[in-house]
């Protein structure tokens, strides 16, 4: 997918009213299916237990607004789905301005922004508005209509499974529960779908790949409650994808131990990208790594981001929009994710075939320049690779030792394999 | 014991003439027994072998002075027991000023101080005086009387044992062999007695506790020679207490390896205190950690101090007195030692009960504030605790990871135990 | 060997035309044999396979020069054996100045230097000259005579084996294939011979010692191809000696892992020398450590140098001569190598004999000065040694912990052995 295709997907998905459940989520998954038909949708009935939790009732918004007694609408869900607090209960009535104010949410320090607020497990209704809109409220009474339904429906999630030569899996998990917000969260599902599409088109896959499109927290917990043993058996690495649509530095959140293969390869790929790179410990977690990395689950999880959620001013506001995120940024992130996949697929362990250094001259590979006083000889990277291809170091290890990119060590490895100077350890 | 009680104990013990052996030590132990009657006294006869050593003869001072031929006393043991070199042999005679000078010890750079000097295993007598007193000596001859006895008596030491649920012991060792010196050494035995009293009054004790009041070096060596196997079997941690009566920073001496539980918990408690904290390696040892940490003994020993012996100007002089040390400083140190005990008693390893994060909302524990853009949610510490309660990390480990105090993690642990969200690992 | 003897050996060996093979190498080994008759010479026939390689044909130079058509010699091998590219093929004929220039090698930035160039496995002839000599070439045509032979002869190498109490070996390897160059390489074989001579004269040797004088690369590869199993079994440490004749800092190249006994003892000895010391990782290797440390060979190799090859301006030029290297510098390096041997021979592991600290006073060893307020007591090093003589720490470990020299800990160890306060761990 190029930046135009990514931009177009972004524009189609942005207006939908995603939440823990509901038609906004179903429509989101349907649009992603157009891009990658392997995406399967599962519906989980409300009330289904999942570890310590229960799948919530489905939430549907018919309409929601505040109007003057003369019928002038001053807040309307139709103009932005951020206006209504997520999972607001049904309510209608005429109330005083003061009572209304106790149900309004704004960000005083960002007077032009609508905040994003939810109230999933609380008996509450509320509206989110800009500080400027609050300033304009000058009537004594307002009519409030929140026409919503909480009913026994289902929670929807998406899953793509691409089989590879090994049943060992690389998992990418992302979430679909935020209404019109572009970086946190749409960048995640769009890139997961695009990455899956690229992998689907790949000639061979050494590993199997799984992509999860889950409502955050309850979706991940439900999925784990049904698949934990299989995931423990098969998951080589799991990455949470989020906040990948802005144009700032790369960042990642490490696993609890910081020592898994996910930590190692994500850090390597991000460093190798050349961009500024920020590494956060597990104490700074906040998305579904909270579940995947919890003690009894303990999967090798790392979270890959550009600006980390909770650290950028646009976070959870109406500023997290299509001015902030675009197809070009997404395309750059996709290149990084493709690179991470390439590293997983290619990270072999090799060992020398001949004892001591090989005789490159007889293969026509020795340096042509005889004045070898100080300059690097042409064969230096080749010989350096051999010096560390000891059956213990993977390509990533060697790249780190030699301070070169993964592509450079991969190219050398291919050349040495052809020359029969190295062989795979297995 | 409050600061008044500590001050009063300090004032009673200060004037006694402690040494390796003798009635000063017996009287010291008797006064400590008043505070904590569990203290048992043992007498070890002179000549008893102890590893490479032999328990020395008992030393008794009847009187010791220097006077002019006219009978004017210019130095008198009665005015300060520091005046006489410890274990001085019997001597009396008229000697020249020059010969007298060769038996006098002073500190030129501290002209108002009497130094503390001993000569345990040497056939010698001597006096310790201020530099100013030396300057005043203007007679040609002086009469010297050192009326002391070295006889087959015994070495006295004290021991308190408080049984706990486990036979595993936390040991606190301190020394009683310095005459009128307040920081090095009286702060040690007073705090050991006070800590024992607090522990005795404690409702439950997970561990057993042992307190040793030993003449330095020979006392520790004798004790080890009789109890080494049992100590190796039962000692979870051993702490030497000394120089805890001044009001400066905290400090500690690590064990030889620096990797024992004593190192870990003492360092944690001292850092957690918020005061400036200095850590010394085992190469800087100087008190009974020399014996407890010696290679064939190899107990997990750390030494806990405020100003380390040998580093403060008052050390081993008449300035180490009741102006320098007081009940208030001792009370602050006692609080630290109580805290160290609390850490030992409470340092459990917990593990999650439910897989993935628990549903706090159904327990009424989720944040009330819905505007969760940047602020820390109320439940953050709870969730962070759970994220690291993996059956490997102890409370101290979690406190260190989360950079919070032991009391904070203990409080969270109690709450989570009540909610049945964690259980003890054992 | 003192500096005069080292200087004299240097002067005799410098003019010889060493290469991979040939009479220059044989004469070099013969002169070294005069110094240390234990040196055995082995001849390996051309064409002998060695791992991936084949021993090359022997190369002999009868004469080689460039002259004007009037017979004026402008370049002559007889005036410097650097003038002829190593292993140049036979050629004679009249050629244009332009064609001649394409066979000339110089260093434009060092216009007075002749570079050192070889072309072992290439069908080529060439001359090395100063930039100034090139500037003077003003004829249109020159007559070139390269009268050389490549014939089935043999490769010569030298070996010294000195038996010790143990069959475990310390190996020193150095190379003999560079014509008139003093630091890289003559310093190596001269010091290897001198060190062997010192070891031969040593009263006892705990370890056996082996010295290898090999043409670089092919010599090491041939030797390994015949002795690898035995070397793997017996080699405790192997050191490559090179560039030890200048007067700059010490340096070393670590093994691939950086964790072998060779790494540890070489680093300790070099640091202990007090001189500036530069440590290079294995990625900076360049001499026979390339072979000894290659993955399937994997011997514990470190390379010991002063200025590292490839880092100093004189490297591989006619400036690497007897102005740059002298007997005094070599003597200083020999002292270091003797010290490294002393460390290997003496690096025992000791353990205390008595539990707790010994009673030094009864042995007359306690401090005499009774005023022990702040000063170090005389017995501090003795007691510190005992505190770490735990059956795990070697003398080098203890020296590193106590930050003292190997000689200091050795002296203390001897004293404690005599006192029967420590015993060897074995």
**Identity of the residue in C366, C384, C390 whose CB atom sits nearest the CB atom of B283:** C384
pLDDT tier at A369 (50, 70, 90 boundaries)? low
C86: β partners:
C118
- The percentage of chain A sitting over the pLDDT mark of 90, rounded to a whole number, equals 92
Burial of C284 (0-12, 13-18, 19+ CB in 10 A): middle
The CATH number of A59-151 is 3.50.30.90
Q: What is the pLDDT of residue C157?
A: 98
**Identity of the residue in A224, A310, A315 whose CB atom sits nearest the CB atom of B356:** A224
Q: What is the pLDDT of residue B261?
A: 98
B150: β partners:
B59
Average pLDDT over residues C339-354: 97
DSSP string for residues in A24-46: HHHHHHHHHHHH-TT-EEEEEET
CA C102 to chain centre: 35
Contact B190, B244 (CB under 8 A): no
Please report, for residues A64, A123, B95, the alpha-carbon distance to residue A143 in angstroms, rounded to integers and kept in the order given. 11, 20, 112
Q: Across the interface, do B115 and C357 touch by the CB < 8 Å criterion?
A: no
Report the alpha-carbon distance of residue A282 to residue A301 in Å, rounded: 10
**Identity of the residue in A351, A370, A372 whose CB atom sits nearest the CB atom of C295:** A351
Which stretches of chain A sit within 8 Å of chain B by CB?
A: 51-54, 85, 105, 107, 115, 117-122, 124, 126, 217, 220-221, 224-225, 228, 256, 282-283, 285, 290-291, 293-298, 310, 315-317
Q: What is the pLDDT of residue C272?
A: 86
Q: What is the pLDDT of residue C361?
A: 86
Q: Indicate left, alpha or beta for A273 from its phi (over 0: left) and psi (-120 to 50: alpha).
A: alpha
Q: What residues in C contact A373, CB-CB < 8 Å?
A: 107, 115, 310, 315-317
Place of tokens 């005795």: B200
pLDDT(A367) > 70: no
Cα–Cα nearest to A216, from A195, A243, A251, A247 = A243
Contact B209, B161 (CB under 8 A): yes
Q: What is the pLDDT of residue A250?
A: 96
pLDDT(C129) > 90: yes
Place of tokens 């002999």: C60
**In this structure, how many other beta carbons lie within 10 angstroms of the beta carbon of residue B132?**
11
Taking every pair of Cα atoms in chain C, the longest distance, rounded to a whole number of angstroms, is 94
Report the alpha-carbon distance of residue B30 to residue B36 in Å, rounded: 10
ipTM passes above 0.90: yes
Query: What is the second-level CATH architecture of the domain C60-150?
Result: 3-Layer(bba) Sandwich (3.50)
Q: Across the interface, do C224 and A357 touch by the CB < 8 Å criterion?
A: no
Q: Across the interface, do C355 and B126 touch by the CB < 8 Å criterion?
A: no
Stretch (H or E) spanning C264: helix C261-272
Strand positions, DSSP E, B91-216? 91-96, 104-105, 127-128, 141-151, 154-162, 169-175, 208-214
pLDDT(A303) > 60: yes
Q: What is the mean pLDDT of chain B?
A: 95
Which residue did the predictor score with more confidence, C211 or C122? C211
Residue of C349, C354, C355 to mutate, interface with B, max B Cβ within 10 Å: C355
Q: What residues in B contact C399, CB-CB < 8 Å?
A: none
Stretch (H or E) spanning C8: helix C3-13
Q: Which two tokens stand for residue B319?
A: 């300035």
pLDDT(A275) > 90: no
Contact B60, B148 (CB under 8 A): yes
**Identity of the residue in A85, A126, A295 whose CB atom sits nearest the CB atom of B352:** A295
B118: β partners:
B86
Average pLDDT over residues B304-332: 96
Q: What residues in C contact A354, CB-CB < 8 Å?
A: 51-52, 296
Contact C119, C126 (CB under 8 A): yes
Q: What is the pLDDT of residue C374?
A: 46
Which residue did the predictor score with more confidence, A371 or B385? B385
Sign of CA dihedral C268, C269, C274, C279: negative
Q: Across the interface, do C354 and B51 touch by the CB < 8 Å criterion?
A: yes
Which stretches of chain B sit within 8 Å of chain C by CB?
A: 51-54, 85, 105, 107, 115, 117-122, 124, 126, 217, 220-221, 224-225, 228, 256, 282-283, 285, 290-291, 293-298, 310, 315-317
- Find the closest chain C residue to A388 by CA distance: C295
pLDDT 10s digits, A144-167? 999 999 999 999 999 999 999 999
pLDDT(B100) > 60: yes
**Identity of the residue in A355, A361, A388 whose CB atom sits nearest the CB atom of C224:** A355
Strand positions, DSSP E, B106-205? 127-128, 141-151, 154-162, 169-175
Contact A226, A291 (CB under 8 A): no
Average pLDDT over residues A274-293: 95
pLDDT(B313) > 50: yes
Q: Across the interface, do A366 and C293 touch by the CB < 8 Å criterion?
A: no
- Do B3-56+154-346 and B349-424 show the same overall fold? no
pLDDT tier at B368 (50, 70, 90 boundaries)? low
Average pLDDT over residues B136-158: 97
CATH of A3-56+154-346, one of 3.40.50.2300, 3.40.50.920, 3.40.50.720, 3.40.630.10: 3.40.630.10
- Residues with Cβ within 8 Å of A294's Cβ and at least 6 positions away in sequence, in order, are B352, B355, B356, B357, B386, B387
pLDDT 10s digits, C131-184? 999 999 999 999 999 999 999 999 999 999 999 999 999 999 999 999 999 999
Q: Across the interface, do B383 and A290 touch by the CB < 8 Å criterion?
A: yes
Rg (CA), chain C: 26
- Find the closest chain C residue to A385 by CA distance: C283
Q: Across the interface, do A373 and C126 touch by the CB < 8 Å criterion?
A: no
pLDDT tier at A268 (50, 70, 90 boundaries)? very high
Q: State whether residue C380 is helix, strand or coil.
A: helix
Helices and strands in chain B, H and E counts? 12, 19
Edge to edge, the sheet with strand C141-151 lists C73-76, C58-68, C141-151, C91-96
Contact B416, B382 (CB under 8 A): yes
Residue of C354, C355, C356 to mutate, interface with B, max B Cβ within 10 Å: C356
Q: Indicate left, alpha or beta for C344 from its phi (over 0: left) and psi (-120 to 50: alpha).
A: alpha
pLDDT(B372) > 60: no
**Identity of the residue in B356, B362, B370 whose CB atom sits nearest the CB atom of A294:** B356
Q: What is the pLDDT of residue C364?
A: 81
Q: What is the pLDDT of residue B374?
A: 46
DSSP string for residues in C174-224: EE---SS-IIIIIHHHHHHHHHHHHHHHSS--SSEEEEEEE-TTHHHHHHH
State whether CATH 1.10.10.10 applies to domain A349-424: yes
Average pLDDT over residues A279-287: 97
Domain boundaries of chain A, sorted by first residue: 3-56+154-346, 59-151, 349-424
pLDDT(C372) > 90: no
Cα–Cα nearest to A196, from A224, A158, A153 = A158
Report the alpha-carbon distance of residue B127 to residue B89 in Å, rounded: 11
Instruction: Express the helix, strand and coil content of chain C in percent, nearest 5 each.
Output: 35, 25, 40
pLDDT tier at C409 (50, 70, 90 boundaries)? very high
Touching B (3+ Cβ pairs <8 A), the chains are A, C
Q: What is the pLDDT of residue A122?
A: 85
Buried b (16+ CB within 10 A) or exposed e, C170-207: bbbbbbbbbbbbbbbbbbbbbbbbbbbbebeeeeebeb
Report the alpha-carbon distance of residue B399 to residue A157 in Å, rounded: 37
Cα–Cα nearest to B167, from B225, B239, B236 = B236
pLDDT tier at A50 (50, 70, 90 boundaries)? very high
Report the alpha-carbon distance of residue A334 to residue A172 in Å, rounded: 13
Sign of CA dihedral B372, B375, B378, B382: positive
CA A27 to chain centre: 19
- Find the closest chain B residue to C401 by CA distance: B283
pLDDT(C391) > 80: yes
Q: What is the pLDDT of residue B373?
A: 47
pLDDT 10s digits, B52-70? 999 999 999 999 999 999 9
Q: Across the interface, do B356 and A221 touch by the CB < 8 Å criterion?
A: yes
Q: How far is A256 from chain B (nearest CA, A)?
A: 8
Average pLDDT over residues B95-103: 96
Q: Helices (DSSP H) in C77-186: which residue ranges?
A: 97-101, 131-135
Contact A16, A61 (CB under 8 A): no
Touching C (3+ Cβ pairs <8 A), the chains are A, B
Average pLDDT over residues B102-122: 94
Residue of B295, B312, B313, B317 to mutate, interface with C, max C Cβ within 10 Å: B295
Q: Across the interface, do B362 and A282 touch by the CB < 8 Å criterion?
A: no
pLDDT 10s digits, C212-251? 999 999 999 999 999 999 999 999 999 999 999 999 999 9
Q: What is the mean pLDDT of chain C?
A: 95
Place of tokens 């103009």: A79
Contact B239, B301 (CB under 8 A): yes
Rg (CA), chain B: 26
**CA angle C400–C406–C412, rounded 5-degree value:** 100
B61-151: CATH topology is Glucose Oxidase; domain 1 (3.50.30)
- The percentage of chain C sitting over the pLDDT mark of 70, rounded to a whole number, equals 97
pLDDT(B78) > 50: yes
pLDDT 10s digits, C248-263? 999 999 999 999 999 9
Q: What is the pLDDT of residue A30?
A: 98
Q: State whether residue A73 is helix, strand or coil.
A: strand
**CA angle A122–A123–A126, rounded 5-degree value:** 95
């Amino acid at each position: 997918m190029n930046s135009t295709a990514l931009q177009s997907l972004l524009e189609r998905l942005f207006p939908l009213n995603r939440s823990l459940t509901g038609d906004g989520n179903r429509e989101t998954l349907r649009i992603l299916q157009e891009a990658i038909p392997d995406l399967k949708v599962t519906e989980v009935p409300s009330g289904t237990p999942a570890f310590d939790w229960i799948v919530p009732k489905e939430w549907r918004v018919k309409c929601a607004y505040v109007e003057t007694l003369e019928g002038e609408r001053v807040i309307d869900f139709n103009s932005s789905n951020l206006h209504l607090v997520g999972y607001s209960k049904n309510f209608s009535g005429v109330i005083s301005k003061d009572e209304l104010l106790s149900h309004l949410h704004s960000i005083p320090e960002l007077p032009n922004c609508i905040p994003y607020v939810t109230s999933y497990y609380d008996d509450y209704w509320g509206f989110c508005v800009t500080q400027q809109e609050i300033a304009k409220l000058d009537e004594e009474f307002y009519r409030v209509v929140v026409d919503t339904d909480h009913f026994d429906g289902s929670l929807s999630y998406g899953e793509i499974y691409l089989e590879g030569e090994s049943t060992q899996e690389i998992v990418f998990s992302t979430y679909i529960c935020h209404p019109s917000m572009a970086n946190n969260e749409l960048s995640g599902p769009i890139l997961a779908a695009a990455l899956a599409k690229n992998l689907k088109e790949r000639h061979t896959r050494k590993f199997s790949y799984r992509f999860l499109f889950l409502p955050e927290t309850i979706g991940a917990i439900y999925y784990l409650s049904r698949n934990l043993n299989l995931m423990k058996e098969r998951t080589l690495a799991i990455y949470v994808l989020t906040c990948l649509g802005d144009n700032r530095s790369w960042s990642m959140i490490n696993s609890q131990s910081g020592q898994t293969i996910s930590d190692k390869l994500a850090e390597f790929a991000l460093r190798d990208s050349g961009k500024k790179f920020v590494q956060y410990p597990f104490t700074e977690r906040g998305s579904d790594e909270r579940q995947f990395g919890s003690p009894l689950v303990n999967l090798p999880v790392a979270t890959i981001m550009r600006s980390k959620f909770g650290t950028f001013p646009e976070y959870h506001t109406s500023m997290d929009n299509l001015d902030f995120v675009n197809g070009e940024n997404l395309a750059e992130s996709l290149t990084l994710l493709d690179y991470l996949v390439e590293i997983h697929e290619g990270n072999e362990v090799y060992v020398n075939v001949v004892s001591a250094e090989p005789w490159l001259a007889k293969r026509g590979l020795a340096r042509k320049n005889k004045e070898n006083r100080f300059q690097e000889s042409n064969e230096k990277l080749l010989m350096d690779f051999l010096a560390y291809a000891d059956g213990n170091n993977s390509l990533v290890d060697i790249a780190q030792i030699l301070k070169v990119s993964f592509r450079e060590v991969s190219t050398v490895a291919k050349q040495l394999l052809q020359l029969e100077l190295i062989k795979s350890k297995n």
